[in-house]
Structure 1
């Protein structure tokens, strides 16, 4: 009997540890991704492991009910975090927490603050204060660096996105690491998306590749040379996929 996708079934740890992240997503869903995160966090000291697990639980609560086109939104956050931990070889708990929280202020500021929705602009300043209280100023600063700015009237959204990438990440090497994983999940993973968002995303992201490639290879980007080569190949793959989508 074949188990339907996204059912909470136990997965052998040895099998889960060698599966690509999108394969875990397709076969085992959020349950599998959370199990993989738990397995990977075993390499961290106990206190670090606990605080990252807390962030994973809170992220699931904040984004509960929010979806991407084919999946719960929290799957994206888990993959971004796992990529940093497994493939970028980064175990700094602040970086992992930021990866889990990287969309919270942009998408869920009302949930973070408990303020009522629909009364004025999103309470981003208050959400950053909550984040600072819970995880410290460094996490809040990193989340701020990777959070897209509020749309400006009369400003092209794609241009605003690209300008923000180039400026917000220029002076924050660790924010680049988080954004590279985020972009990889969105860009290389674009083939797992369906509907009109595919074309929109390809148009938006294709201009980001040269910006991110330049930031990746800056000497102060805190990743090993082998990891940088891996990410460069991922950026190249994303660009090939954008080109194919836009040509179609």
Structure 2
């Protein structure tokens, strides 16, 4: 992988890096992008990647390790959203850590492992990183109510006042929505049903004046939302 020309790897879309070079390619792409950051910033992001790699070391999706998802979410924010805020990027790498591995992160089984895990992130990466991760961490849902409805309510409540957290959630959504292409069986319709209803909410959040993105980036994301809605509608058409 190290002998692959850097300009070539930097020119590839993230999905192409994933398909052709897998985790090694995404890690190499991350390393190349990181070289333009200050040394102290590189140290923070490398620490965040090491922690994410440790926590998710056994986690897999249908076709790949979860770390691929975390790298793509972060690289998308860095490269396509043009964000160089290191705390936002560290939170993107760690955005699933508290939701998926609160007890591992907190070092035991405390009564409130989510709060304890966020406390560890605040201690090791700062209060803002922990706050951003908390904003994109799904709460425990009421089993007596529709889970998808509660998810949408959580998005509106948690992201409405957190412009920077919106970037993490939108990149996460983009990656998960694209992942529908690689899903088979009943999960396809289930994912399309869940994500189709989320698109209008995220579209409105991205369009807000306080969302910290350039207008052309917002337009690019709007186009991605358009394609996602068409894809989900096609999946959900009656046979």
2:120 alignment partner in structure 1: 130
How far apart are the structure 2 equivalents of 1:22 and 1:192?
A: 12
Q: Which residue of 2 aligns with 1:162?
A: 152
Q: Please name the residue that 1:195 is paired with.
A: 185
For the residues of structure 2 that align with 1:152 and 1:168, how far apart are their CA atoms? 17
1:244 aligns with 2:234: yes
The yes-or-no answer on 1:56 pairing with 2:49 is yes
CA offset at residue 167 of structure 1? Answer: 1.2
Residues 1-248 of structure 1 aligned to structure 2 (within 5 Å): 10-116=3-109, 123-247=113-237, 248=239
Distance apart, 1:155 and its partner CA: 1.5
Q: Which 4+ runs in 1 deviate beyond 3 A?
A: none
Partner of 1:3 in structure 2? Answer: none
- RMSD of aligned C-alpha atoms? 1.5
The TM-score with structure 2 as length reference comes to 0.95
Number of residue pairs matched by the alignment: 238
Specify whether residues 65 and 91 from structure 1 end up closer, same or farther in structure 2 by C-alpha distance, changes over 3 A only: same
How far the C-alpha of 1:121 sits from its partner, in A, is 7.0
Q: Distance in 2 between matches of 1:25 and 1:245?
A: 24
Change (3 A) 1:42 1:121: same
Cα 1:104–1:210 shift into 2, 3 Å: same
Closer/same/farther in 2, CA of residues 10 and 106 from structure 1, 3 Å limit = farther
**Unaligned residue ranges in structure 2 (runs of 5+):** none
Once the two structures are superposed, residues 106-162 of structure 1 have per-residue CA deviations (whole angstroms, 9 ceiling, x without a partner) of 00112112215xxx8771111111111110100011111111111212011100111
Offset at residue 193 of structure 1 (A): 2.6
Normalised TM-score (structure 1): 0.92
Structure 1: stretches of 5+ with no match in the other structure: 1-7
